[in-house]
Structure 1
Amino acid sequence: MKFLLVFDFDHTIVDENSDTWIVKCAPGAKLPDEIKKSYQKGHWTEYMGRVFRYLGDNGIREEEMKRTMTAIPFTAGMKDLLDFICKHKDFFDCIIISDSNAIFIDWILKAANVSQLFDEVFTNPATFDGCGYLTVQNCHVHDCAKCPVNLCKKKVLEEFLDHHVTPRMKYSQIIYIGDGGNDLCPVLCLKKDDVVMPRRGYTLESMILSLNVPVQASVVLWSSGIDILDYLELLIKG
């Protein structure tokens, strides 16, 4: 029996929003008002496409973007947590479900030498086109009315479990670690033996507290990666 660790990325593994961090590359480290005002709720990926076009139009290319992104700070204690998981990988499968993009996450994890820890990363696909512009696509198609058009984390988690859980291989517990509003949907599908770990003081915590019907999973708050590490240490000691 193994535990499945499901991580969000922004404001969970890293202590920033990777999509807004890239704006440091822009002229004057800011975006024009017409781009900032163009965001429509639920259409973040389309908005980021306009941001990336603006960066490309201003000569920002892969090398500079990579240098900027790999300087993003990890959340306090998170590298200690990832080192701990790496040493005890026999107990854990680890996946990331994120509304960032594949290139940013790959750069950041590889720069920190932790990419091998994660069994799969589910996020918005991204590539550099022939002109050197970064382009991003929606993660998938879904029909969940609660989630942004590009990503329903519940659907991703359920499809992952459908492919990986068999009568011979079941996770003894799913532990979901996140912070944001788009983490609520997958949390609602967790069972009573599972655990949701919302970051203290962030949106997911307040959303869980305000639910009319409580989540089935146990709720364990965290402020740093060390809090999560301490919980996992107790878990594997049984």
Structure 2
Amino acid sequence: MSECHVPSVEGSLVVFDFDHTMIGCNSDTWVVEQLSKRKEVILGKLSEAGKRNAWTAGMDQAMAALHEEGVSVESIRECMEAISIDEGIKKAVRRVSSRGGDVRVLSDANTLFIEWIIHSNGLGPSVSKILSNPAHVEASGKLRVRPFHTDPHPPTSTSPPNLCKGRVMEDWLSEKQWTRVVYCGDGGGDFEGCLRVPSGGVIMARDGWTLHKKLLQAVEAGDPPRAPIQAWTDQHDLGTQLDALL
């Protein structure tokens, strides 16, 4: 594990994946588990959609199924707002924001879920940008989820069709000369984003999860990412490491 420390966070960019990184669960499956009377059926269909690389479309269908069951958007929001973010992570986010850094969420979940959880945990003023699959509520009360990217990714991208985090990171990195870039993630969808982190940055990858495995495979293949890799085990550990890093 590489040890990195830079005394100032001013001008830095700190990027968080959301599910299983900033929060300790998968918000998509959590809401179905908590609110649906047919959760086994819906989760089964969602799993099948994931295997077809169509998770976002599957989540849109899952929200339609909840609507058919009579589950209100208010109930969905309350379910999301019950999810807590680790105190150490919240401390790190607030510190970066207050000291001139930029904290952003880059996630394959959806904008509404993330906004509800971020604000209920008091981090709304500290997170400058949330980029995810756009979600909205129709007049009927049905929550809809749409893919962020609708145009093809570059041929070399390994990302799911709805969101290439590598493309997003390229856009963000071109905005200015960041003093440092820190990327926190866990899943395979974070891999392309991590490859864009410059050498002066840090990749915070969840130990033993897909992102970590893919990064180690790249190292073994002689094609490592430019930034050092730092592993974390759970949200408390991530918060502790960010406290030391930032």
TM-score, scaled to structure 1: 0.87
Percent identity of paired positions between Structure 1 and Structure 2: 29
Q: CA deviation at 1:28?
A: 5.1
CA deviations 1:168-212 (Å, max 9, x no partner) are xx2111111111111111111222212101012321111111111
Give, in whole Å, the separation in 1 of the partners of 2:225 and 2:116: 34
Query: Retained in 1: the 8 A contact 2:22–2:89?
Result: no
Structure 1 residue aligned with 2:3: none
Structure 2 residue aligned with 1:154: 166
Give, in whole Å, the separation in 2 of the partners of 1:22 and 1:230: 33
Structure 1 residue aligned with 2:244: 230
Correspondence 1:78-227 to 2 at 5 A: 78-88=86-96, 89-140=98-149, 141-144=151-154, 145-162=157-174, 164-165=175-176, 170-211=177-218, 212=221, 213-223=223-233, 224=237, 225-227=239-241
> Aligned Cα RMSD in Å?
1.8
- Gap change, CA 1:135 and 1:6, over 3 Å in 2: same
Question: Which amino acid in the other structure matches residue 147 of structure 1?
Answer: S
- Gap change, CA 1:37 and 1:104, over 3 Å in 2: closer
Give, in whole Å, the separation in 2 of the partners of 1:36 and 1:123: 18
Runs of 4+ in 1 over 4 A off after TM superposition: none
Which 5+ residue runs of structure 2 have no aligned equivalent? 1-9
Question: Which amino acid in the other structure matches residue 221 of structure 1?
Answer: A
Q: Secondary structure of 1:151's match?
A: coil
Give, in whole Å, the separation in 1 of the partners of 2:17 and 2:242: 14
Compare the two structures and name the one with the higher helix fraction.
2
Give, in whole Å, the separation in 2 of the partners of 1:59 and 1:173: 47
Paired positions, count: 224
- Gap change, CA 1:218 and 1:36, over 3 Å in 2: closer
Give, in whole Å, the separation in 2 of the partners of 1:198 and 1:135: 30
Q: CA deviation at 1:68?
A: 1.2
Give, in whole Å, the separation in 2 of the partners of 1:91 and 1:119: 11
Query: Retained in 2: the 8 A contact 1:85–1:92?
Result: no
Quick check: 50-59 or 30-39, which moved more? 30-39
Structure 1 residue aligned with 2:21: 12
Give, in whole Å, the separation in 2 of the partners of 1:121 and 1:36: 24
Give, in whole Å, the separation in 2 of the partners of 1:61 and 1:90: 39
Which 5+ residue runs of structure 1 have no aligned equivalent? 233-238
Q: CA deviation at 1:120?
A: 0.6
Structure 2 residue aligned with 1:26: 36
